[in-house]
Amino acid sequence: MKLKYKASERSQMLKYHIQTSGRSLHAQEIGFNDIRTTLQALYAIYDNCNSLHTNAYDEAITTPTEESVRRAMAIQLIINRELGLAKNENPLQGAFIIEELTDLVEEAVLLEFDRLTERGGVLGAMETMYQRGKIQEESLYYEQLKHTGELPIIGVNTFLSDDGSPTVTPGEVIRATEEEKGAQIGALAAFQGRGGEAAVRALAGLQDTAVQNGNLFAALMEAVKVCSLGQVTGALFAVGAVSAEYMRARRGRESFNQFLY
């Protein structure tokens, strides 16, 4: 951020959050998923992440259960409270393989920044669905490697159990009842009703901040006190639609005001 975009000191301050890989969760031998998540959590903690989400092993097939969530939390607790190595900052720093992988990842990230810039930045790339296309391409590539066995995955395509490691299906897939759905919808309506004029002002301020290219995070933190996620995304979507029209208008030398007001 500093070297490529000349970012200010304040804009370089960030919360470094990591979530373990959802793609590594498999329906076959789902008990192995905790092992994969543990190793990923080690990487994250050794790299001094500020916050970490560890996936539950059964997220491959259903909404996590209380038991699986507790196991996922235990992964972090055991690493932090029992292992001991996490008490030292970045214990793997200086190792050749870690430094080499870091350089390779950094190079790949910078190249991706260049590709986005060539397409007119993030918004320009979104107009051509570049990001979505990349995600789909990578997903297809991963599935092909898994299917052919070029990417060995224990219990899925190699080292299968005697019964062939069949896909595990839960006895009961967790789904919300109609009563639970109704209660959630009612709670949402009540929350939106309490927002009133404060919500209107917060959403207007959020839109103004977006149009002026200001600090959206600060405006979001204020807005969510009185606005629901749907209200916030709706307000930002409206600004995004206006921005797209603005870009088209600017190319046609038309006035932005006719789209904004």
pLDDT digits (tens, 9 = 90+) for 150-205: 999 999 999 998 877 777 766 666 778 899 999 999 999 999 999 999 999 999 99
pLDDT of res. 249: 54
The stretches of 51-176 forming alpha helices (DSSP H) are 66-78, 96-118, 121-127, 130-148
pLDDT of res. 255: 43
| Residue 172 Cα to chain centre, angstroms | 28
Q: Please answer whether residues 122 and 213 qualify as being in contact, where contact means their C-beta atoms are separated by less than 8 angstroms.
A: no
pLDDT of res. 176: 81
pLDDT of res. 202: 96
pLDDT of res. 245: 56
pLDDT of res. 258: 44
pLDDT tens string 54-69: 999 999 888 888 999 9
* Token representation of residue 16: 């470094």
* Token representation of residue 179: 């009563």
* Token representation of residue 250: 């600017």
Residues 124 and 26: their CA atoms lie apart, in Å, by 35
SS3 28: strand
Residues 68 and 83: their CA atoms lie apart, in Å, by 21
pLDDT of res. 86: 83
pLDDT of res. 170: 65
* Structure-token match 């405006």, residue found: 219
Beta-strand (E) ranges in the chain?
A: 17-19, 51-53
pTM exceeds 0.95 for this model: no
Which residues in the chain come in under a pLDDT of 50?
A: 253-261
Count the neighbouring beta carbons within 10 Å of the beta carbon of residue 175: 9
